[in-house]
Each structure stands twice: as structure tokens, then as C-alpha cells.
Amino acid sequence: MQNETTPGRRAPFDVMKLVIVSDLHLVAPGETLFGLDPLERLEACIGDINANHADADLVVFAGDLTDDGRADAYAALADRLGFLLPPHRLMLGNHDDRAAFRQVFADAPEIDGFLQSRADIGGMRLIFLDTLWPGHVAGQLCDRRLAWLDEQLASVADVLMFLHHPPMPIGIPSLDACRLSDPDALLVLLKARGNVRHLFAGHVHRLSHGNWDGIPFTTVRGTSHQSALRFDGPHAISFEASAYSIVLAGRKGVVVHTQEFDAKRPGASMPASAVMA
Ligand SMILES: [Fe+2]
Ligand SMILES: [Fe+2]
């Protein structure tokens, strides 16, 4: 799926407004995950986007759409997406299942069997990568996926890149251990092209910002559970507020905001040794 759109002008960079939603972790409708109802959270998120950002040029769903790749969870997602006002783009994460996803989203873009796509908006190119590595918590970009990425980076000046797994460490060892495998291959490619203005990732269920060898990045919160901020020790989930992010971007710059949308949460953090982002 590739498209060229010309959005209206928006401050401060006068080009586009994007919304990033990540880590839905949908389970069977009616069931809960860590005491939360992921589908209820998604509904609240869509309601908030419709109320406040219906003018977004695109809503990017940055992977882990479901918690365990259930077909009924994808069906529930498809149903709720019918209520989302702006256009959207779906990505996969380590908790997703390509075959089950395809059963519901048969028309989703496909490159060599991978859910990769691009969108050209206001002179910028948005690239959406598929880092799903079946059977692994960590992510992967194989030679075919990297080759496609390199083609998309060629001959464009300004790129925003989206992938589920962060390639860079964020200083939380339990999450850094399951980021993108072989990040150096990606970094070599990106540095050679030199046109990625900002990189966005999900997976870590945590808001962080920085730069990766000079490439600015943001990781975003999930709509379900979050990751506790632990600079040592095992991974732990937390019940900090669910949120989505809003990106105002143009060729002159990028700014990222984060919007909490649901105050209903049980409270204290809890360990989840068997559950990674
Ligand atoms: Fe993930
Ligand atoms: Fe996740």
C-alpha cells in the first residue's frame, strides 16, 4: 500500500500530523490481561483520537496488535478500526502471527511475505518495517527486508521510519536484550543514506527519546500495560497510564507529544518474569 497525500498546513512544521498507537496486546474479546481489558483500552484510545485528532493524516499501529496472535483478537481489531476516523496503517510485533493476521487483514500490504509499506506525505517518506521474527521475542530485519528498505530510502530527502523493535538500546537491560537483532546492519544502511530524520519504535511499552549514533528516536507507550523503569534486574510490567503519541513533522523538523487517554488502572507495578515487551 503506497500513497501520496497532500495534507493541510499545520504548525510548527506545516506538513503532517501523525498519531502512533502501539502494543495493543489484544486478547479474546471479554478476556483480560494482567487485570486489564486491552480491547476496552483500544476503544478508549480510538475515542480519544476521534475526539481530538480526527484531522491526523495517518494513525500508525506499531505492532503487538494482539497478545498471542488469536484470530478473534484480530477480528475485534478490524471491527474497532471501522470506528477510527483518520486513515491507519498496521504493523506487526513479536506477539503477532502473520498467518492469523492475514486471515482477517487479507488486503494488507505485502512485500516478499512481510508487512512492509510506505506512505509519501507532504514531500516526506514514511517507511513501515516488519521486524517480526517468529519464535523470538527479539526482532529481525533479514537481507530481503533490508534490501527493500534500502530501495525505499533511495532518492528521497527526508524519511520517518517506523519499526516495532527498537534497534538501539534504551538503558533498560531486560528490554535491550530483546531489541532488534543485528542492529549494526541497519545502522550501516541508514548512515549510508543519511536521510532518516526520526525513528519511531514500540515494543518497550515506555516513552523514551534520544539519538542513535546521530539519528533521533522515540519509543512510545502501549495502550495496554507498560514496562516499569528498571535500570537493573528483571523485567517488570507497570500500570502507568496508557498513552498514544502525536507527531507533527515536516522537512524542517519533528516534534513528538504524548497523550494519556485512560485513567482506569489497577495501581502498583507487578513483576512478570515470563512476559517480555
Ligand atoms: Fe513487542
Ligand atoms: Fe508489546
Query: pTM to 2 decimals?
Result: 0.91
Q: How far is the CA of 129 from the centre of ligand 2 (A)?
A: 16
Task: For residue 6, give every residue at least 6 positions away whose Cβ sits within 8 Å of its Cβ, in sequence order, or none.
Answer: 121, 122
Q: Which residue has the cell 471491527?
A: 79
Give the pLDDT of residue 251.
86
Q: Give the pairing type, strands 226-227 and 236-238.
A: antiparallel
Give the pLDDT of residue 6.
52
Domain assignment present for residue 257? The answer is yes
Please give the residue range of the domain that contains residue 223. Answer: 9-271
Domain assignment present for residue 52? The answer is yes
Q: How far is the CA of 23 from the centre of ligand 1 (A)?
A: 7
Q: How far is the CA of 174 from the centre of ligand 2 (A)?
A: 13
Domain assignment present for residue 133? The answer is yes
Domain assignment present for residue 276? The answer is no
Q: What is the mean pLDDT of residues 161-183?
A: 97
Q: How far is the CA of 94 from the centre of ligand 1 (A)?
A: 5
Q: How many domains does the chain have?
A: 1
Closest CA to 59 of 162, 172, 134, 212: 162
Predicted confidence (pLDDT) at residue 189 exceeds the cutoff of 80: yes
Rounded to whole angstroms, how far apart are CA atoms 79 and 256? 28
Predicted confidence (pLDDT) at residue 107 exceeds the cutoff of 60: yes
In terms of C-beta distances under 8 Å and separation of at least 24 residues, what long-range contacts does 215-219 make, across chains too?
215/190, 216/254, 217/166, 217/168, 218/245, 218/256, 219/166, 219/170
Q: How far is the CA of 1 from the centre of ligand 2 (A)?
A: 24
**pLDDT of 135-169, one tens digit each?**
999 999 999 999 999 999 998 999 999 999 999 99
Domain assignment present for residue 54? The answer is yes
Amino acid letter at 193? R
- The CATH number linked to 215 is 3.60.21.10
Predicted confidence (pLDDT) at residue 269 exceeds the cutoff of 80: no
Ligand nearest to the CA of 201: 1
Domain assignment present for residue 24? The answer is yes
Give the pLDDT of residue 79.
98
Q: How far is the CA of 123 from the centre of ligand 1 (A)?
A: 30
Predicted confidence (pLDDT) at residue 252 exceeds the cutoff of 50: yes
Q: How far is the CA of 63 from the centre of ligand 2 (A)?
A: 7
Give the pLDDT of residue 158.
96
Instruction: Give the side-chain half-sphere CA count within 13 A for 130.
Output: 26
Give the pLDDT of residue 7.
53
Predicted confidence (pLDDT) at residue 268 exceeds the cutoff of 90: no
Q: What is the mean pLDDT of residues 51-58?
A: 96
Q: How far is the CA of 102 from the centre of ligand 2 (A)?
A: 19
Domain assignment present for residue 232? The answer is yes
Q: How far is the CA of 266 from the centre of ligand 1 (A)?
A: 22
Ligand nearest to the CA of 33: 2
Rounded to whole angstroms, how far apart are CA atoms 177 and 199? 19
**pLDDT of 204-232, one tens digit each?**
999 999 999 999 999 999 999 999 999 99
User: What is the grid cell recorded at 258?
Assistant: 504524548
64-79: b (≥16 Cβ within 10 Å) or e: bbbbebbebbbbbbee
User: What is the grid cell recorded at 25?
Assistant: 496486546
Q: How far is the CA of 25 from the centre of ligand 2 (A)?
A: 6
Q: What is the mean pLDDT of residues 64-79?
A: 98
Q: What is the mean pLDDT of residues 176-180?
A: 97
Predicted confidence (pLDDT) at residue 5 exceeds the cutoff of 60: no
Q: How far is the CA of 240 from the centre of ligand 2 (A)?
A: 14
- Kindly tell me the burial class for residue 63, based on how many C-beta atoms sit within 10 Å of its own C-beta (0-12, 13-18, 19 or more): buried
Domain assignment present for residue 277? The answer is no
Give the pLDDT of residue 42.
96
Closest CA to 171 of 206, 145, 201: 206
CB 212 within 8 A of CB 232: no
Ligand nearest to the CA of 65: 2
Q: What is the DSSP letter of 164?
A: S
Q: Which residue has the cell 523503569?
A: 229
pLDDT bracket for residue 4 (50, 70, 90): low
Helices and strands (H and E) in the chain: how many: 6, 15
Q: How far is the CA of 141 from the centre of ligand 1 (A)?
A: 15
Rounded to whole angstroms, how far apart are CA atoms 130 and 134? 11
Ligand nearest to the CA of 237: 2
Q: How far is the CA of 228 from the centre of ligand 2 (A)?
A: 13
Predicted confidence (pLDDT) at residue 2 exceeds the cutoff of 60: no
Q: Is the dihedral of CA 82, 27, 202, 133 positive or negative?
A: negative
CB 258 within 8 A of CB 220: yes
Q: How far is the CA of 61 from the centre of ligand 1 (A)?
A: 12
Predicted confidence (pLDDT) at residue 273 exceeds the cutoff of 50: no
